[in-house]
Chain A
Amino acid sequence: MNGATDQTNQCLVSLRNIRKAFGGVHAVDDVSLNLYPGEVVAVLGHNGAGKSTLMKMLAGAYPIDSGDVIINGRKVHVRTPADAQALGIESIYQTLALADNLDSVANLFLGRELLTPWRTLDDLRMDAHARKVFERLNKNFKNYHTPVRRLSGGQRQVVAISRAIYFNARILIMDEPTAALGPEETAMVAKLIEQLKAEGVGIFLISHDMHDVFALSDRLAVMKNGKLIGTYRTQDVTEDEVLGMIILGKQPAGKTQTLRDPAPQA
């Protein structure tokens, strides 16, 4: 904890009593969750547990039925993806949210293109900036101008992550970031997460991979049928206890829940 220390007492994101129903189904039912700067919170649960829905609400993709989103102590309304982006929230989706027919540079800037003074696309400037970001993530990335559908899973992930890096995400939502990746690329993502943590970025990590969860997260929150089962410090619980929460919705005996990590320093 270096430069981020003085910020750590301020909560980056506080989700309070969030609810969302699709028709009669309560996809997310009264969930409260905090995220602090430089922290990785893993959000776990079965398919349909509501974790992706919760995250999509934070990212502005779904409207929130009721509940508050508080960012840096200020109550905010996230109605559209553009609202979320303006608040420094970036998402990396499982489906990667890339336009397959466009090249990597176009995808990096999609929705936020750099313009010339004549309001036309500034391709050269975007090109130059994109090269720097891609280089930072992967030295071997050279396919700037091929449609992303021709890229490998790892290269596509580089493009998706570059969106978060370039636009200086303060809050990053990663939905299964390593699902389609080989070992080398998974290591790249892990390294990147460490780097972003050190810069004080808060990360919500949705993952099914227990290895990733225990290797990367500081805290974990488990959801089942739209409800939050509990939030624990990752080091306090075992894999079996986590699986028990995911499958049975059972809180592990004798473990205290925690709303934050690291613990406030005296």
Chain B
Amino acid sequence: MKPVLDSLKHSNIDWRMALMAGVLVVITLVFNVLSDGIFLSPENLYNIAQQTAVVGILATVMVLVIVARHIDLSVGSVMGFVGVLIAFLMYTAHWSWPAACLAGLVASLAVAMYQGALTAFIGVPSFVVTLGGLMSFRGAAYMVADGKTQPLTDEFFLKIGGGYNGGIGTTASWILGALICVAIIATRISKRRGKIKYEVPVLPLWLDAFVTLLPCAAVIGLVMVMNAYHIPFKDDAQGIPIPVLIWGAVALVISFLVQRTRFGRYIFAMGGNPDAAALVGIPVKRVTMLLFALLSVLITIAAIVAISRLNAGTNSLGNSLELLVIAAAVIGGTALAGGSGSIMGSVLGALVMQCIDSGMLLLDVSIGMRYIIIGQVLIVAVVFDVAYRKWTGDAL
């Protein structure tokens, strides 16, 4: 038993993440029992997955923002502004959807450069810059279309948000799932080979295999559930919804940036010790600007998914979204003091929040009660985080 325990100890397994995944499983099981099996039905899981996507997409990048000791309170408003702008260009100005999306991206980038420059070059705390942005860009969202709702009809565009035609179908889902599993296994194998080549100690084979096969099992499970949701009178089952696909791709890209690029490492270094980051020659201002630019790209993506899901752009799009996004990041273990957080954590955090909310909705819990409980879940998560850090000696 002892060698097993030892290798577990040195395995760099993120126990907090494992625990969170466990909590998520327990939550779903409890709701499933309370709702007489409705919660874990493919239809409900399909809906939860696509509902979480917008918050999930923004939470991945919010993790980076918070890690770098910044905050963005304006994500909801900027997303509203960009969303309405895209919808306005398509509906009122009759632009094609790619052109409208590109224009939205440009607008979003301009916002990011403005807020980023205030933060990076003038040194205004991002809390203040984006608090101003929270109000201003909500106003801008109103002004774009004079407060009028901009309905969307482009059939292809509406698939992006999921819904009736928003799944990629069973065959594509299986192919995609298989490809992802192959990719996971291949990278783990090449990593193990590389470690052996450089004489870096490796995990015992059984543990490495387990750590590799677990995410594969999760992917296959997702594909199976999504393929089981068959809307009556349609030829094929839904398969993975497109917004979930986008969310997954975003999480993958950001994880890659964090683990494999200088940009990601510098974000963490800046959050861990800003003075040290400057003293060792990290271009702090440039990295901050890049971070804001990345944020703006993801806000645009989230805006596209959101208006497509809603079939319209409205000036209230993304109201209070910043709170959900920050909550998802924090529930996922991102420390507001900066310097620590994980992308996978934000994915789990967003799912935990959405599962609890949807579960309560299924159980007919009143809206007031739902707000109260979701708020306290956030507190519980942070209390746990503080206790966990004390326990592991990682006090921040």
Contacts and interface: CB of A to CB of B under 8 A. Distances in A.
Contacts of A124: 194-195, 197-198, 200
A100 B340 CA distance: 10
B261 A120 contact: yes
A85 interface: yes
Interface stretch (B138-146, B265-273, B293-301, B372-380): B265-273
B278 A81 contact: yes
Nearest to A144: B200
B272 A99 contact: yes
B199 A128 contact: yes
Interface stretch (B72-80, B107-115, B279-287): B279-287
B339 interface: yes
B281 A80 contact: yes
Contact of A99 (B199, B260, B269): B269
A229 interface: no
B396 to A, nearest CB: 8
A203 to B, nearest CB: 18
Interface residues of B, number: 29
Interface string A64-75: 000000000000
Contacts of B281: 60, 80-82, 85, 111-112
B271 to A, nearest CB: 7
A265 interface: no
Nearest to A127: B200
A121 B260 contact: yes
A124 B281 CA distance: 23
A101 B271 contact: yes
Contacts of B282: 110-111
Chain B residues touching A, majority SS: helix
Contacts of B339: 99-101
Contacts of A98: 273, 276
Interface string A82-102: 100100000101011111111
A185 B269 CA distance: 26
A112 B283 CA distance: 12
In the complex, which range does the number of interface residues on chain A fall in?
35 or more
Interface in A139-189: 145, 147, 149-150, 163
Interface in A220-266: none
A31 interface: no
Interface of A: 59-61, 80-82, 85, 91, 93, 95-102, 106, 110-113, 115, 119-121, 124-125, 127-128, 145, 147, 149-150, 163
B310 interface: no
B262 A99 contact: no
Chain A residues touching B, majority SS: loop
A148 B268 CA distance: 13
A117 to B, nearest CB: 13
25 contacts: A60-B281, A80-B281, A93-B279, A95-B275, A99-B272, A99-B273, A99-B277, A99-B339, A101-B268, A101-B339, A102-B269, A106-B265, A106-B269, A113-B262, A120-B261, A121-B259, A124-B194, A124-B197, A125-B198, A127-B200, A128-B198, A128-B200, A147-B394, A150-B393, A163-B280
B92 interface: no
Interface in B199-215: 199-200
Nearest to A109: B265
B12 A97 contact: no
B268 A127 contact: no
B279 to A, nearest CB: 4
Given A98-B276, A99-B272, A102-B265, 19 more contacts: A59-B279, A80-B281, A97-B273, A97-B279, A98-B273, A99-B268, A99-B273, A101-B268, A101-B271, A101-B273, A101-B339, A101-B340, A110-B282, A111-B280, A111-B281, A111-B282, A120-B260, A121-B259, A128-B198
B275 A97 contact: yes
Contacts of A115: 262
Nearest to A163: B280
B272 A102 contact: yes
Contacts of B200: 124, 127-128
Contacts of A99: 268-269, 272-273, 276-277, 339
Interface string B1-39: 000000000001000000000000000000000000000
Contact of A61 (B261, B279, B394): B279
Contacts of B260: 120-121
Contacts of A102: 265, 268-269, 272
A61 B278 contact: yes
A97 B199 contact: no
A59 B276 CA distance: 13
